[in-house]
Chain A
Amino acid sequence: MVALKALVVDDSGVMRKMVMKGLIESKLADFEFVEAEDGKDALAKFDPKQVDIGFIDWNMPNMTGIEFVREIRALYGSESTGVPLVMVTSEKTMGKVQEALDEAGADAFISKPFTVAELQSKLKKTIERAGIRRLRRERSQKQQQPSGGIFSKLFG
């Protein structure tokens, strides 16, 4: 199973734990987690070459989740669009959720509170997409590495 590097952004340490616990229990993938406590912290920790998927709280101090998603999409452009960003929100107003998906550039959302079954049904395709991107990236990196055959034999 592919181990995905997941950025989990929430100002609540307990919510970060709950998201990570839920994802592990979902068994949708193996995860390696990177935690950030607000949008600004997440911005510093986001690297589209390293992060495979992001789980972003909406209401946070300093920089909201929506602002973070907008910033990432603007900063990294097409390089970032392959990284699915999932809003984790207590927002229940569909207009606002739609704004996150359409205007800001988020890929999916899950509503708090959530169950493992909900994570499985809502995130299966998104996590599969992140996994495929990760495998392609790893393959591409391997192809770019010098073959090493004759050189490693010659120079050790």
Chain B
Amino acid sequence: MIAPAPASSDFPVVIAEAVQAAVGLSFESIFGEPPASTEVDNQGASFARMASVISFFGAQPWALTLVVPEPTAVAMALKFTGFDVTFDSSDMGDVIGELTNVLAGEVVAQLARRNIQAQMSLPTVARGNDVEMLRGKGAATQRLSYESSQGQFWFELSTAPSVQRMCRTSGTAARA
């Protein structure tokens, strides 16, 4: 099972706000309506999941993981592509990776509007029941959970303190 990171209050608020804005805009343009933020935390525990990670680098290194339980992934894929995509296919990895990619593009734009420059990596996608997202020691994390007409999904946001330390060591400007 993909272990959700515990919520941490010290994740940068401005980044979390940019992600929330990007989720609303991106998902509305893809699925026709923005998803509803939820505090419910049962997160489709009995289902296999897709997890797609994109890293952001710039002044503040951090990473976003989109976690999508199987029924949500299948419904999202149909709506996004217009054709059936089975959960176990390689196409499903493409779909969830591409959804994360589209969202991340909007996140970069939202951050730029908040005077934070960032670049994004390509998505890395995992599928399974027993995937654990490991965090760097001292990383600040935050979970954003959503309900949509396609089902539940959530994001785990995490800073990357090890990258920050590397940047400082090599003399590159970095902000905590």
User: Contact residues of A with B, CB < 8 Å?
Assistant: 11-15, 17-18, 21, 59-61, 89-93, 111-113
Contacts and interface: CB of A to CB of B under 8 A. Distances in A.
Interface residues of B, number: 24
B70 interface: no
A17 B81 contact: yes
A93 B104 CA distance: 11
Interface in B76-103: 80-83, 85, 90-91, 94-95, 97-98, 101-102
Nearest to B118: A93
B7 interface: no
Given A12-B97, A113-B80, A92 B29 contact: no
Nearest to B96: A14
Chief secondary structure at chain B's binding surface: helix
Interface stretch (B41-49, B106-114, B134-142): B106-114
B3 interface: no
Contacts of A59: 101, 120, 122
Closest 9 CB pairs of A and B: A90-B105, A92-B109, A14-B94, A12-B94, A90-B102, A113-B30, A90-B101, A92-B105, A14-B91
Contacts of B83: 17, 21
Interface of B: 26, 29-30, 80-83, 85, 90-91, 94-95, 97-98, 101-102, 104-106, 108-109, 112, 120, 122
Contact of B91 (A13, A21, A60, A93): A13
Nearest to B22: A92
Contacts of A21: 82-83
A90 B104 contact: yes
Contact of A89 (B29, B85, B97, B105): B105
B33 to A, nearest CB: 14
10 contacts: A14-B91, A15-B94, A60-B122, A61-B122, A92-B106, A92-B108, A93-B108, A112-B101, A113-B26, A113-B80
Most interface-central of A12, A60, A89 (chain B CB within 10 A): A12
Contact of B85 (A14, A15, A113): A14
Chief secondary structure at chain A's binding surface: loop
Nearest to A96: B108
A98 to B, nearest CB: 13
A11 B112 CA distance: 26
B52 to A, nearest CB: 12
Nearest to A112: B102
Given A12-B97, A90-B98, A113-B102, 9 more contacts: A14-B94, A18-B82, A21-B82, A61-B122, A90-B106, A93-B108, A93-B112, A111-B105, A112-B105
Contacts of B97: 12
A133 B132 CA distance: 54
A135 B85 CA distance: 38
Nearest to B25: A92
